[in-house]
Structure 1
Amino acid sequence: MADTAASLRLMAWLSPAFPVGAFSYSHGLERAAGDGLVANANGLTDWLQVLLDHGTAWNDALLAAQAWKRATTDGDLVELAELCEAMAGSVERHLETMAQGAAFVKYVAQWTGERTLPDPCPYPVAFGASAGWVGLDLDATVAAFAQGFASNQIQAGIRLSLLGQDAGVRLLHALEPRIVAMADRAALASLDDLGSAALTAEIAAMNHETQHVRLFRS
């Protein structure tokens, strides 16, 4: 695929105009902010670095890469989708990955045609497999997916008054080398490399289930 068309496709799929509802979810950040675990731009930087290196963002990027590989080799996507769903550590994170996955499957069919994704299908598997089917580059796919996650978290942080627009742009720029390195690592990894050590983030996501006043669904 021509580089320009591939870039447009990735930008379209990760655009706020692509209706997967990502803006509705904070991935537990709302509870972390409420509990004082993330209080400002520096705290959000640390939070995102851990998620990208050792948390759910790493696992999701690896699973997206595995979905890309299976889609391009006629591998078993159903098994991978079941694994991805099982790794959701809380009710709300399960909702987040499955609801976004269902919405993505619905609208990405404009590009993938008659190809069939598992039903139900978590978001990372749906994104990675679709990218593989339409000929997008693996490294670019995983990097864009990870940057989309980081961008959504930064937007959530802005809505939670943890930082402003200027600091948000600086943070997205600062994370770029880390995202590229993580994407390269995920593209070469296997399912044996799945794992998370971001326990505080997992607990915050679980505790959000009991939060009565909220802006986000997770």
Structure 2
Amino acid sequence: MTTSRLRLFQLVSPALPVGAFSYAEGLEALVQAGRLQDASAVASWIEAELRRGMLAVEAAWLPQLMVASVAELCERDRWLLAMREAPEVRAQQRQMGASLLRLLADLGFEPPRLDLAWPVAFALAGRALQLPALELVEAYLFGWTANQLSAAVRLVPLGSTEAQRLQLSLAPLIAERAVELAAADPRDLWNGGVGAGIAQLRHAELYSRLFRS
């Protein structure tokens, strides 16, 4: 196993101190509304986001962000953040991005001293760790999926074994989408995750909640 592969594992580890566990990105609102009540519904939700959501657009930008100039990073960061409708999700991406960049600095990688959101910070982590672009895209999709399933275990509720079964069943789609998105021109893509945007906006209106988005 190569060192780069081990570094990739570290980047998607649940031990990465960026606070991803505290966010559900609209999943909680959907569960409370009765839209996600079993494993099949959760799988369909995740599949839709992998195929048509803003997640896919962000992932497609990663290869270009890995080689972008500082000016290009800042411009694309503002654009990607503006594509997220919910203030909670924008705050989430800012917090996670700042945490990841701070971690890279603490590890001695000297990332740009910029306030960047999660997708751009993730690309800079891939650059610092010298990861192949395709594997970074795959890791971005895998990490998001794993985090959604972790939230579903606590919210649906979904048993941990069932969550692992879903993670296995989604692996071929993640691999397929990673190849497609790594080769795509992200300017040709569009965000079809309207339902996700609405769910993320409604999360702020919940009377009680476990997650921050």
Band the TM-score falls in, shorter-chain normalisation = over 0.9
Letter in 2 for 1:132: R
Residue 164 of structure 1 corresponds to: 159
- What is the CA deviation profile of residues 48-97 of structure 1, one whole-angstrom value per residue up to 9, with x for unaligned ones? 000000002212212323312426xx772111111111111111111111
State how far apart, in whole Å, the 2-side matches of 1:20 and 1:193 are: 30
Residue 116 of structure 2 corresponds to: 121
Give the superposed CA RMSD: 1.7
Say which of 191, 209, 213 aligns to 1:214.
209
Residue 24 of structure 2 corresponds to: 26
1:191 Cα deviation (Å)? 2.9
Q: 1:68 to 1:134 in 2, by over 3 A?
A: same
Q: Give 5+ residue unaligned stretches, structure 2.
A: none
**Residues 1:101 and 2:97 aligned together:** yes
State how far apart, in whole Å, the 1-side matches of 2:17 and 2:4 are: 19
State how far apart, in whole Å, the 2-side matches of 1:133 and 1:111 are: 10
Q: Give 5+ residue unaligned stretches, structure 1.
A: none
Q: What TM-score do you get using the length of structure 2 for normalisation?
A: 0.93
1:112 Cα deviation (Å)? 5.9
1:134 Cα deviation (Å)? 3.0
2:8 partner SS:
helix
State how far apart, in whole Å, the 2-side matches of 1:179 and 1:169 are: 14
Say which of 24, 49, 52 aligns to 1:51.
49
Say which of 73, 86, 93 aligns to 2:82.
86
**Residues 1:62 and 2:60 aligned together:** yes
Size of the aligned set, in residue pairs, is: 213
Residue 179 of structure 2 corresponds to: 184
State how far apart, in whole Å, the 2-side matches of 1:203 and 1:162 are: 22
Q: What TM-score do you get using the length of structure 1 for normalisation?
A: 0.91
2:24 partner SS:
coil
Check whether the contact 1:112–1:134 (CA below 8 A) recurs between aligned residues. no
State how far apart, in whole Å, the 2-side matches of 1:111 and 1:63 are: 25
Say which of 187, 195, 198 aligns to 1:203.
198
Say which of 133, 137, 145 aligns to 1:142.
137
1:165 Cα deviation (Å)? 0.9
Residue 40 of structure 1 corresponds to: 38
Structure 1 residue runs of 4 or more that deviate by more than 3 Å after TM superposition: none
Letter in 2 for 1:163: L
Percent identity between the two aligned chains: 31
